[in-house]
């Protein structure tokens, strides 16, 4: 399982059916509201506020995160409908309507028993290109932070297979939720088709997580000692947000359409050697990738000290491991990647920087942002291109043992941006990179050069144990940017 643009996903054509979520108590939900309504998390509140302000300014923002996966054999549409409904009933955050109550964002969950799914036959698409265009347009037009429901569900049905898709507004999920979506829906579907009971591990509600988080951090102020790590980072770097150090050709206070690209950096064998090389110097694969990113940025003209933001999962070691929600904190990290430092030395710096970061991970990013950079917090976007790094090993996600069969994939999209974000994913096929960045001539040139340099660097680490280009690299074993080809996968089976 990996993340890449939906536009790169070759889904075989077929008949499209979608399921619309409906509340049988919708009339009551539009009332005055329950004074005991649950409160949104800090992430959700900020996300919703930006959507409100953008709509009021006639400058709407839009984004989504989606998952697609395969069902082999003729699709039992009734069983899939039941599996999808069970999935929504299982995760309380998916049943929530969000509304402003006395200035706070309230989450008002519908009763699971009051939900129903209505099938809608959308139509038949004769070619993969027509189908892809439909899905891209459908996701963009159907996901609205200010409208319930906050996701869409559907399937592309063929005679002997189907591709299932679900697309969500970020307010109800994160990237780590996507493997859970695929596992939950397919496990329920297979159980229903086989006439067997379905047992899934406990999935506590994200709303409980949000309640606990707000109780702990809503009352802190700018003098709170737990903000010390952030304050030190700001003092050394000159601002709350660490700047992306390369030229993207953007103007201040302007948003741009985006480029969404995906590519392979290492194949499976190279990724395995890369991991062993990292472990040999006391690190982990994500540390090796981060160190490589830092070196490439510095060699392209960036500073010797890497400063960036890094999303960190708040799921813990088990409590929320199977829950859908936005369990992400974002923390600053810094380490030395100056000239002359070899791979082991940079890795030692990454390890020390990460250890220090994790020891201060308790304060929510949005709360620190609000307290320490209030003027920037009032804006609808980050103030300038921000240095951002994310890494997920999809082989360790729920359901990973079935990924070869289910062929799940994650897709993200945003309408506009003013910088660049890169996500790195490891799966059974290797190490992959998905980048969203501003569509400017300078950014296209910068990001192409950066990606090429990073690929050479991680391959050198895998093949020579260091950053240097001492090993002649053969061409990639398959073209960079090869999408997941569902049609080819179906033929293999």
For every residue of 182-245, DSSP letters joined together read HHHHHHHHHHHHTT----------HHHHHHHHHHHHTT--TT-GGGHHHHHHHHHHSSSSPBP-
Q: Where in the chain is the domain with CATH 3.30.559.30?
A: 222-482
Number of alpha carbons in the 13 Å side-chain half-sphere of residue 58: 0
DSSP 8-state secondary structure symbol assigned to residue 476: P
- What's the whole-model pTM score? 0.92
Domain with CATH 3.30.559.10 in the chain: 2-210
Do residues 8 and 62 touch, judged by C-beta distance below 8 A? no
Give 222-482's CATH code, choosing from 3.30.70.1430, 3.30.559.30, 3.30.420.40, 3.40.50.150.
3.30.559.30
Helical axes 285-299 vs 343-358, angle rounded to 10°: 110
Tokens 């709350």, located at residue: 240
The pLDDT tens digits along the chain (493 residues) read: 999 999 999 999 999 999 999 998 754 444 444 545 789 999 999 999 999 998 887 776 789 999 999 999 999 999 999 999 999 999 999 999 999 887 889 999 999 999 999 999 999 999 999 999 999 999 999 999 999 999 999 999 999 999 999 999 999 999 999 999 999 999 999 999 999 888 899 999 999 999 999 999 999 999 999 999 999 999 999 999 999 999 999 999 899 999 999 999 999 999 999 999 999 999 999 999 999 999 999 999 999 999 999 999 999 877 899 999 999 999 999 999 999 999 999 999 999 999 999 999 999 999 999 999 999 999 989 999 999 999 999 999 999 999 999 999 999 999 999 999 999 999 999 999 999 999 999 999 999 999 999 999 999 999 999 997 533 333 433 334 444 444 443 334 3
Backbone angles phi, psi at 187, to 5 degrees: -65, -45
Number of Cβ atoms within 10 Å of the Cβ of 323: 24
| Cβ pair 141, 134 in contact under 8 A | no
Sign of CA dihedral 444, 450, 451, 456: positive
Burial letters 114-147, b for 16+ CB under 10 A, else e: ebebeeeeeeebeebeebbeebbebbeebbebee
How many angstroms separate the first and last alpha carbons of the chain? 18
Name 19's Cβ contacts closer than 8 Å, sequence gap at least 6: 81, 84, 85, 117, 118, 119, 120, 153, 154
Tell me which fold the domain 2-210 belongs to.
Answer: Chloramphenicol Acetyltransferase (3.30.559)
């Amino acid at each position: 399982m990996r993340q890449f643009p939906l536009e790169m996903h070759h889904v075989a054509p077929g008949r499209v059916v979608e399921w619309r979520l409906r509340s049988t108590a919708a009339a009551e939900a539009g009332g005055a509201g329950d004074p005991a309504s649950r409160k949104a998390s800090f992430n959700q509140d900020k996300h919703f506020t930006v959507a409100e302000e953008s709509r009021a300014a006639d400058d709407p923002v839009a984004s989504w995160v989606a998952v697609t996966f395969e069902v082999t054999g003729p699709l039992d549409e009734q069983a899939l409908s039941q599996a999808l409904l069970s999935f929504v009933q299982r995760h309380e955050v998916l049943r929530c309507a969000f509304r402003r109550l006395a200035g706070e964002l309230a989450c008002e969950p519908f009763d699971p028993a009051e939900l129903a799914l209505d099938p809608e036959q959308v139509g038949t698409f004769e070619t993969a290109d027509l189908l892809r265009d439909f899905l891209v347009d459908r996701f963009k037009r159907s996901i609205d932070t200010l409208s319930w429901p906050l996701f869409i569900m559907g399937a592309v049905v063929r005679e002997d297979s189907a591709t299932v898709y679900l697309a969500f507004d970020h307010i109800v999920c994160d990237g780590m939720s996507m493997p859970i979506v695929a596992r939950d829906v397919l496990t329920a579907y297979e159980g229903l088709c086989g006439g067997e009971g379905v047992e899934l591990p406990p999935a506590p509600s994200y709303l409980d997580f949000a309640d606990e988080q707000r109780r702990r951090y809503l009352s802190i102020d700018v003098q709170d000692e737990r903000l010390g790590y952030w304050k030190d980072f700001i003092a050394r770097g000159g601002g709350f947000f660490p700047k992306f150090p390369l030229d993207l050709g953007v103007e201040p206070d302007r948003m741009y359409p985006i480029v969404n690209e995906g590519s392979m950096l290492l194949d499976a064998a190279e990724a395995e050697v890369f991991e062993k090389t990292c472990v040999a110097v006391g690190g982990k694969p994500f540390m090796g990738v981060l160190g490589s990113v830092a070196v490439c940025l510095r060699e392209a003209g960036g500073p010797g000290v890497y400063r960036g933001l890094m999303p960190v999962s708040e799921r813990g070691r088990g409590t929320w491991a199977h829950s859908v929600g936005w369990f992400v904190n974002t923390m600053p990290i810094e380490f030395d990647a100056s000239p002359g430092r070899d791979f082991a030395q940079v890795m030692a710096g990454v390890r020390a920087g990460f250890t220090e970061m994790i020891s201060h991970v308790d304060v929510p990013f949005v709360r620190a942002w609000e307290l320490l950079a209030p003027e920037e917090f009032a804006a609808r976007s980050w103030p300038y291109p921000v240095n951002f790094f994310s890494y997920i090993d999809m082989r360790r996600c729920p359901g990973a043992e079935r990924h070869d069969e289910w062929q799940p994939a994650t897709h993200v999209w945003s309408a506009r941006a003013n910088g660049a974000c890169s996500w790195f994913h490891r799966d059974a096929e290797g190490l992959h990179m998905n980048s969203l960045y501003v569509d400017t001539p300078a950014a296209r040139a910068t990001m192409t050069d950066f990606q090429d340099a990073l690929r050479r660097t991680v391959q050198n680490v895998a093949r020579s144990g260091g950053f240097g280009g001492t090993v002649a690299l053969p061409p990639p074993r398959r073209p960079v940017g090869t999408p997941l080809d569902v049609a080819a996968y179906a033929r293999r089976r």
